[in-house]
Structure 1
């Protein structure tokens, strides 16, 4: 037992597009302008960072993340700001490097921002210690680094890759007699089989076959051949290789015997709707794939509020794709920020006040995109190596007609699976 109290999902229909939208409509009805008569405080300055301009061909780019942050600010300020406070967003190009992450974190500390919100970085080891030294909270990062689930100043909105893998085992156990897992030959990759196997073993399925792959290969014929040799009736092949997942399945489908379609799968972060669109939509190699995600599928009505904000306030910015998980996470993170700022009575919102509001249990209703979020000690999962997780829910999706759609309604809580995996390893 972890002592973690689960919070029920709010389901009233009138709140389906999220309390952030409803709150904004109330503000717009008051006609309050940030900094004008009726304003209740000083502007709130935050930072969002993500890689945009990169030099390495293997680097990740997430330009939609800072673009969504700017779009959110334009929208909320048009409604009168957050509780009458103007929202000011500083963005920083992290460039997917450790030096870039450190530079952005130093800028956040130097500018004395109230929080870093809805950002993406694989280099948390370089950035988050600097935020800790400056007392800057990190709200709703994408979940791309382990530090996001360990730092006492991090407030994640999802369960990261660990939750996805634990959930993926449960998803595959429902339709696969046996599973081959193709994963990176790295320290991070070494943890993947145990997380996946917790779900498989719970359903009396055998452990997955572990197939190691180099992280930056241009072809995965060797790994694809191994996976195909282990195929049999009811077999599935899961690949979790980040940006190289596409490369693996290109090799896999090319070597697949003609007329024989093997079931494949992955998790969000390795597969996404934009990737499916880019690789052929209905003719994509991912057609039919099982995918585990953090949030409802992109076509769910609960995203309508975000889509409307993008339509009206992104001004045609092509970098913002409402189907992208990074953009979705940024929207949720700013929903958290809004709730926290509204909970602060003082005129000036500082990093310390934001942290205090989060630690004392400010609740955040995301309109059903996540469970109600709260970061009191009793809400934390509290297991190493991910003590800061408060949301261990995932969703089961499948690619049909070129679209990621729900395979199973609602969320699946993988708290127990994460705890079992920790005990098995340690």
Structure 2
């Protein structure tokens, strides 16, 4: 991990020492009981009432770019479920939600509200604007558990506890996946700050497979037509649409186009399909989140332009039986909420993030659940083996020794991906188990 130093964060002060004098201790306890008689104690009880554990989940909704309404909806369904089963550490779990509106102002507003509401953690959330929300959470000591994995801050802040390897692992994994058959690759990606880091990550996977670097095709994040970007992608992959049919066919063999445009990925591939009509098809690819089962179904199923696409994901395919507990919670507690798609990687990330929160709370064994105690539990690994997510990820732990030596992403502890393909209208696994891309990321060549 050359050149990187672990970020420092002020450690909370040690708890006060117990009173040694039994008489003084007794007087103190009596005084406390008298005070509780006036407030904070339920009538007829001998213990103070404990309020709910308040957390927040945020994501963009109703914007012209990527929207993730299923994440806050999943968080609310999780709260309904766990509160039916005794709550979180015996206390009610209360989930606040916020719309970050895909802009820095909205992200900052959500963070300020989290601080004002004194939440224990921000859990299972999506935002592209880490620079707007993370400093405020750090100042208040609020942990950020299970972000979607879009921003540098999520993999740099000591208060961030990512459950996946973010876009970094998806792009590196996609590069490795494409290296097994692609001679020339074009990457179509958003012309944004988050998009600017994508080429080097995809290239890490391609270079690991002894392939050349991909051609970089920038695209507007909220366009309604991507015909021009499709033409550029084909041209730079060697299959120029202006070529004659015979020459185009020869060039198409070995040419690949991968598009990572979030909600606009289907718009791109719709434009791309028209460019390839009556021509040999080039191999297409994407990453989970930009392509998911709902999109394949919505765009035609077996006749979808995405059929045959190679897709890299973080988790097992949505039909995997390991998702059964999440599906049960959704069916029993989401009340027909059509915002929640069990195949949505955002929904899946939120489920795993709340699994982590629950494990941290249970590790406290009845102790108070606060932002400080949750941080301490997570920093200690939540037990000797980490958090068991039921096989949806490796066991998760954020101790110093669990961090990988990935330049620019020091908080990555889970660098596993899955290889999938759209086949006859369904996303299916093309390789059993997880693929570890940690070495690919650690050996990533410098950008430029």
Q: State whether structure 2 residue 237 is matched by structure 1 residue 224.
A: no
Q: CA deviation at 1:269?
A: 2.4
Q: Where does residue 184 of structure 1 map in the other structure?
A: 190
Measured in 1, the distance between the counterparts of 2:46 and 2:340 equals 33
The aligned runs of 1:12-411 (5 Å cut-off) are 43-52=52-61, 54=62, 56=63, 58-229=64-235, 230-231=238-239, 232=251, 233-362=253-382, 363-411=386-434
Q: CA deviation at 1:143?
A: 1.4
Which has the higher mean CA deviation after the structures are superposed, 183-192 or 378-387? Answer: 183-192
Measured against aligned partners, the alpha-carbon deviations of 1:277-312 in whole angstroms (never above 9, x if no partner) come to 222222211111001011111111110110011111
Relative contact order, CA 8 A, sep 6+: which one is greater? 1
Q: CA deviation at 1:262?
A: 1.9
SS in 2 for 1:424: coil
Which of structures 1 and 2 has the bigger CA Rg? 2
Q: CA deviation at 1:210?
A: 2.9
Measured in 2, the distance between the counterparts of 1:375 and 1:163 equals 17
Q: Is the 8 A contact 1:83 1:341 kept in 2?
A: yes
Q: CA deviation at 1:38?
A: 12
Q: CA deviation at 1:141?
A: 1.1
TM-score by structure 1 length?
Answer: 0.86
Measured in 2, the distance between the counterparts of 1:69 and 1:384 equals 32
Q: In structure 2, do the counterparts of structure 1 residues 273 and 224 end up closer, same or farther at CA, with 3 Å as the change threshold?
A: same
Q: CA deviation at 1:376?
A: 0.3
Q: CA deviation at 1:42?
A: 5.4
Q: Structure 2 regions of 5+ residues with no counterpart?
A: 3-44, 240-250
Q: Is the 8 A contact 2:289 2:344 kept in 1?
A: no
Q: CA deviation at 1:49?
A: 1.4
Measured in 1, the distance between the counterparts of 2:418 and 2:265 equals 20
Q: State whether structure 2 residue 437 is matched by structure 1 residue 414.
A: yes
Q: Where does residue 5 of structure 2 map in the other structure?
A: none
Q: In structure 2, do the counterparts of structure 1 residues 87 and 120 end up closer, same or farther at CA, with 3 Å as the change threshold?
A: same
Q: In structure 2, do the counterparts of structure 1 residues 180 and 307 end up closer, same or farther at CA, with 3 Å as the change threshold?
A: same
TM-score by structure 2 length?
Answer: 0.82
Measured in 2, the distance between the counterparts of 1:328 and 1:287 equals 23
Measured in 1, the distance between the counterparts of 2:263 and 2:100 equals 18
Q: Is the 8 A contact 1:268 1:291 kept in 2?
A: yes
Q: Is the 8 A contact 1:41 1:346 kept in 2?
A: no
Measured in 2, the distance between the counterparts of 1:332 and 1:196 equals 26
Q: Where does residue 30 of structure 1 map in the other structure?
A: none
Q: Is the 8 A contact 2:65 2:222 kept in 1?
A: no
SS in 2 for 1:225: helix
Q: Where does residue 26 of structure 2 map in the other structure?
A: none
Measured against aligned partners, the alpha-carbon deviations of 1:378-410 in whole angstroms (never above 9, x if no partner) come to 111243311111111111110012211111111
Q: In structure 2, do the counterparts of structure 1 residues 392 and 40 end up closer, same or farther at CA, with 3 Å as the change threshold?
A: farther
Measured in 2, the distance between the counterparts of 1:214 and 1:69 equals 31
Q: Is the 8 A contact 1:39 1:84 kept in 2?
A: no
Q: How many residue pairs end up in the alignment?
A: 389
Q: In structure 2, do the counterparts of structure 1 residues 195 and 279 end up closer, same or farther at CA, with 3 Å as the change threshold?
A: same
Q: CA deviation at 1:424?
A: 2.4
Q: In structure 2, do the counterparts of structure 1 residues 347 and 72 end up closer, same or farther at CA, with 3 Å as the change threshold?
A: same
Q: CA deviation at 1:59?
A: 3.2
Q: CA deviation at 1:248?
A: 1.9
Measured in 2, the distance between the counterparts of 1:37 and 1:174 equals 67
Q: Is the 8 A contact 2:122 2:145 kept in 1?
A: yes
Q: Structure 1 regions of 5+ residues with no counterpart?
A: 3-35
Measured in 2, the distance between the counterparts of 1:114 and 1:62 equals 22
Q: In structure 2, do the counterparts of structure 1 residues 247 and 39 end up closer, same or farther at CA, with 3 Å as the change threshold?
A: farther
Measured in 1, the distance between the counterparts of 2:424 and 2:323 equals 20
Measured in 1, the distance between the counterparts of 2:49 and 2:313 equals 38
Q: CA deviation at 1:227?
A: 2.9
Measured in 1, the distance between the counterparts of 2:378 and 2:167 equals 23
Measured in 2, the distance between the counterparts of 1:332 and 1:291 equals 21
Q: Is the 8 A contact 1:38 1:84 kept in 2?
A: no
